[in-house]
Amino acid sequence: MEYAKTYTARWADMDPNVHMRHSAYTDYAAQLRLEFLADQGFPMKRFAELGIGPILFREDTRFLKEIGLSEAIKVTAELSGLNADASRWRIIHTIYKADGRVAATVAVDGAWLDLRLRKLTVPPTEMAEAMRQLDKHETYADIERGQK
C-alpha cells in the first residue's frame, strides 16, 4: 500500500537561513512511521502495552531542494528491506515539495526493542503483517540473517 501524508512546514521547523532545518526532515519521517503504525492498529499506547518500541541503527538524509515556511510537503514511506520475521527493516522516506520535486530522502534501518529486557525482539504477527503492507521501494532487497 502507498503510505503518504501531507504536512505544512512550521515556523519551528525553520533555521536561521529561513529554510527547513536539517533535523525537521527526519522529524517528519519519524512522524509518518508512527502514524503508519497507528493507522495499522499500533498507536503508542499499544506499543506500551506490548512492551516494545521501534529503534534505529542508521538514519541517512539527502537534501536536494529547500523547503520554505508554510510550504506543503508530502512525505512517503516505502519498504527497502525486511527480514523474514520482520524484526529488522529498512524504510525510505521521500519528501516532496508542493510542486512535486523531491526535496529530500530519509533512509532508516531499524528493528524492534523489548523495552523490559532492552534487547532486540520479534514483533507480533499483526505488526509484521502491517510492515509487509508498505509499498516496496525500487531498491528493495530482503534482509538476510546476520546482515546488518
pLDDT block averages, 10 residues each, the chain of length 148: 95 96 98 97 96 97 98 98 97 98 99 98 96 97 80
CATH of 3-133, one of 3.40.1180.10, 3.10.129.10, 3.40.50.300, 3.30.930.10: 3.10.129.10
> What DSSP assignment string belongs to 17-74?
TSSB-HHHHHHHHHHHHHHHHHHTT--HHHHHHHTEEEEEEEEEEEE-S---TT-EEE
Beta strands at 102-114 and 88-96: parallel, antiparallel or unpaired:
antiparallel
Residues contacting residue 37 through CB under 8 Å, at least 6 positions apart: 43, 47, 54, 127, 130
Cα gap 6→28, rounded to integer Å: 10
In which element (H, E) is residue 128 found? helix 125-133
What is the DSSP code (8-state) at residue 77? Answer: E
φ, ψ of residue 107 in degrees (nearest 5):
-110, 130
Q: Please report the pLDDT score of residue 145 as a whole number.
A: 76
Q: Please report the pLDDT score of residue 148 as a whole number.
A: 57
Q: Please report the pLDDT score of residue 147 as a whole number.
A: 59
Q: Please report the pLDDT score of residue 108 as a whole number.
A: 99
The pTM of the full predicted model, rounded to 2 decimals, is 0.94
